[in-house]
Structure 1
Amino acid sequence: MAGEIPDLEAQVRTGTGKGAARQARRDGMVPGIVFGGDNEPLPINIPFNKLLTKLRAGRFKATLFNLKVEGHDDVRVICRDVQRHVVKDLPTHVDLMRLKRTTKINLFINVEVKGEEECPGLKKGGVLTLVRPEVELVVTAADIPEYVTVDISGLEIGDSATISRVDLPEGAKPTIDRDFVVATVSAPAGLAASDDDEDETAADEVPTTEMGPPDGEE
């Protein structure tokens, strides 16, 4: 489960519109907006360097933050969108949503694999494919997992692990209402190609029945 909720410090952004946003960027800030809950939307600025550090650390959109803005009560927020420069790929605007501890939200959570050393399929030369490196789950704001785990320790070549084999935190559930595949163990490419060649050879060697002339004809 996620540990202590990290702080995200911001300042109130004075002024609205594109002019104020451009000025914020010139001042080394990333403009943003905080919305949701029972309060009005709050325009904010976040220091560019601090935001970039958190973005590069990963899982920014799946992390619950304690937003600290001078003159306002601390509030739990989660990022709903990060707009980026089309060329530089640097953040230009952030949308944050206020949350209660009991709020249910949809998030993409990373999938980690366990049981690789025990997996009989891998021991026989099989290849592991993580079909879904992330799965979308409905979780509560107070219980966002850092990752979920899929166990492949019993998979043979040709087997797959579905979402029902994934350890989900209490109260979390997939947004897709079916037992979809998360990981597979398949035959190595060389073996698969060999099997295909054998199938083709077998097909070529099937004897054909020669048709004789119709009855009564020589």
Structure 2
Amino acid sequence: MELQVMVNERETGKKSLLKQLRRDKKTPAVIYGANFKPEAVWVDEKEISGIIKHSKTSVLTLNEGKKKLTAVIKDVSYDALSDRVNHVDFMKIEAKKELDLTIPLELEGACKGVKEGGILDFIVREIEIRTIPSKIPHSVKIDVSDLAIGDTMKISELHIPEGVTVLTPGDHICISIQAPRKEEEAAVTEAEAGAAEPEVEKKGKDAKGAPEAEGAPRRAESAPKRAEGAQGRAEAQKPADKK
């Protein structure tokens, strides 16, 4: 079932007009497509936000007065600070003509690896597909129940509905079950300890050589004493002063 969306024509050319629309809870948008002159419109912010959240890939019927257009949401931009929908691109489509669009991946099932203490890394959350409007899936579901620690899943392993071609490279990994962080930290600690051993041995060798270095100054210190003794003997051998 197609969703109905009311769209309204808007003026263009000034940023102040866009700001005013957003202040009035209206989201600026544009409609474009093959052999179709682009139209600048606005939609109700609350209505379009709900559609984007729950049915972003749905086929929409855009109602502009008496005119009706079949379209899909091609792109959405958000405010960097508030995540508020900032602008929407609608693409006009034809019922029997293929189109390219992005759909989300959704996880289902209790992951075996997570139960064992692992971490599920959801790497790729969307894929690009090509299909006709009537075959557009809302999402592609991934059963992660049997994935254990160390397992991965590639795009090519996903269950894709009939009539849908995946454009995202099949060798891309979308899910990875990683080992628990404690095990990773223990492995890092062992590696660091192994790397530190040669340094300990080196310090030991330096320590053995230390007494010899310390002894050198003491031997040097005895030289002045020998010199003093020699000077005393020399003075004793001097002839007495003649009167």
TM-score (norm 1): 0.71
For structure 1, which segment, 20-29 or 142-151, has the greater mean C-alpha deviation from structure 2 after superposition?
A: 20-29
What residue identity is the alignment partner of 2:128?
Answer: E
Q: In the aligned structure 2, how far is the partner of 1:87 from the partner of 1:192?
A: 35
Structure 2 contact 131–165 (Cα < 8 Å) conserved: yes
* Percent of aligned positions that are identical: 25
What residue identity is the alignment partner of 1:132?
Answer: V
Structure 2 match to 1:187: 179
Structure 2 match to 1:69: 64
**Structure 2 unmatched ranges of 5 or more:** 202-243
1:9 pairs, out of 2, 6, 11, with 6
The structure with the greater share of residues assigned to helix is 2
Q: In the aligned structure 2, how far is the partner of 1:176 from the partner of 1:16?
A: 36
What residue identity is the alignment partner of 1:122?
Answer: V
**Structure 1 unmatched ranges of 5 or more:** 209-218
Deviations 1:109-164 (A, max 9, x none): 222223425x2x33432221111122232333222222212233333321111112
Structure 2 match to 1:130: 122
* Larger relative contact order (CA 8 Å, sep ≥ 6): 1
What residue identity is the alignment partner of 1:63?
Answer: S
Q: Sort the Cα spacing of 1:97 and 1:116 in 2 relative to 1 into closer, same or farther, 3 A.
A: same
The total of aligned residue pairs comes to 198
Q: Sort the Cα spacing of 1:129 and 1:84 in 2 relative to 1 into closer, same or farther, 3 A.
A: closer
Structure 2 match to 1:168: 160
Structure 2 match to 1:212: none
TM-score (norm 2): 0.65
2:143 pairs, out of 143, 147, 151, with 151
Larger radius of gyration: 2
CA shift, 1:190, in A, is 0.2
1:18 pairs, out of 14, 17, 38, with 14
